[in-house]
Structure 1
Amino acid sequence: MNNKKKFALIAALSLGLVMTACQNNTSKDNPSNEPSVTQSSKKEDKSSTSKEDNKSNKDKDEKEGEKKTEVSLSDWEGEWNDMGGYLDKKEIQPAFKTLAENEKIDENGAKENYLKKRHCDFGGLRIKGDEVEFLNDFPDKNPELKGKGVYKFVGKQEVEHGGYKMEWDIFEAKNEDAPYKYLLMMPIHGEESLTHFHMRYGDDKDKLLQEEGWYPTFVKPSTTDQQIIDEITE
Structure 2
Amino acid sequence: MKKAIVKWSSVVVIGSLLAACQDTADEDTELEEEAATEDEEATEEEDHDHDHDHESEEKGDAEIEGFIDHYHTGDTVELTVTTEEDEGDGQWHWYVRGGDEGEWESADGGDGDTFEAEAVDHQQIKATLYDDDHEVISETEPVTVIIDDHDSDVYEGYFDDEDVEDRDISDWAGEWKSVYPYFEEGDLEEVFEHRAEESDDMSFEDYKEYYETGYATSVDNIEITEDGEFTFHDGDETYSGTYVYDGYEILEYEAGNRGVRYIFELEEGDDEAPQNIQFSDHIIAPQPSSHFHLYWGDDRDELLDEVDHWPTYYPVEWSSDQIVDDLLLH
**TM-score normalised according to structure 2 size:** 0.43
- Look up the equivalent residue of 1:172 and give its one-letter code: E
- Look up the equivalent residue of 1:134 and give its one-letter code: F
Q: Verify the 8 A CA contact 2:166 2:248 in the aligned structure 1.
A: no
In 1, Cα distance between equivalents of 2:282 and 2:196: 27
In 2, Cα distance between equivalents of 1:169 and 1:97: 31
In 1, Cα distance between equivalents of 2:281 and 2:195: 25
Measured after TM superposition, the shift of residue 210 of structure 1 is 1.4
In 1, Cα distance between equivalents of 2:165 and 2:290: 23
Larger radius of gyration: 1
In 2, Cα distance between equivalents of 1:232 and 1:166: 18
Measured after TM superposition, the shift of residue 197 of structure 1 is 1.5
- Look up the equivalent residue of 1:130 and give its one-letter code: G
| 1:45-93 CA distance string (max 9 Å, x none) | xxxxxxxxxxxxxxxxxxxxxxx95543233111001121211224433
* Structural RMSD (CA): 2.6
- 1:170 equivalent among 256, 263, 270: 263
**Higher strand proportion (structure 1 or 2):** 2
Q: Verify the 8 A CA contact 1:72 1:130 in the aligned structure 2.
A: no
- 1:99 matched residue in structure 2: 195
- Look up the equivalent residue of 1:81 and give its one-letter code: K
- 1:201 matched residue in structure 2: 296
- 2:250 equivalent among 158, 169, 173: 158
- 1:132 equivalent among 230, 241, 258: 230
- 1:217-232 matches, within 5 Å, as 217-232=312-327
Query: Taking CA–CA contacts closer than 8 Å with sequence separation of 6 or more, which of the two structures ends up with the larger relative contact order?
Result: 1
Q: Verify the 8 A CA contact 1:150 1:178 in the aligned structure 2.
A: no
Q: Verify the 8 A CA contact 1:79 1:125 in the aligned structure 2.
A: yes
In 1, Cα distance between equivalents of 2:260 and 2:186: 34
- 1:185 matched residue in structure 2: 279
72 and 195 in structure 1: CA distance in 2 versus 1, 3 angstrom threshold? closer
Measured after TM superposition, the shift of residue 130 of structure 1 is 1.2
| 1:23-48 CA distance string (max 9 Å, x none) | xxxxxxxxxxxxxxxxxxxxxxxxxx
Matched, 1:115 2:208: no
Matched, 1:73 2:169: yes
Moved more, 125-134 or 90-99: 90-99
- 1:57-68 matches, within 5 Å, as none
Please give the secondary structure, in 2, of the residue aligned with 1:195: coil
- Look up the equivalent residue of 2:191 and give its one-letter code: A
Q: Verify the 8 A CA contact 1:99 1:232 in the aligned structure 2.
A: no
- Look up the equivalent residue of 1:116 and give its one-letter code: T
Please give the secondary structure, in 1, of the residue aligned with 2:322: helix
- 1:214 matched residue in structure 2: 309
Q: Verify the 8 A CA contact 1:96 1:232 in the aligned structure 2.
A: no
**TM-score normalised according to structure 1 size:** 0.58
- 1:147 equivalent among 227, 239, 252: 239
Please give the secondary structure, in 2, of the residue aligned with 1:87: helix
Please give the secondary structure, in 1, of the residue aligned with 2:268: coil
- Look up the equivalent residue of 1:108 and give its one-letter code: E
- 2:184 equivalent among 88, 91, 109: 88
Among all aligned residue pairs of Structure 1 and Structure 2, give the percentage whose two residues are the same amino acid: 25
Please give the secondary structure, in 2, of the residue aligned with 1:174: strand
| 1:90-125 CA distance string (max 9 Å, x none) | 443333233333334333332111111222230010
In 1, Cα distance between equivalents of 2:190 and 2:244: 41
Measured after TM superposition, the shift of residue 178 of structure 1 is 4.5
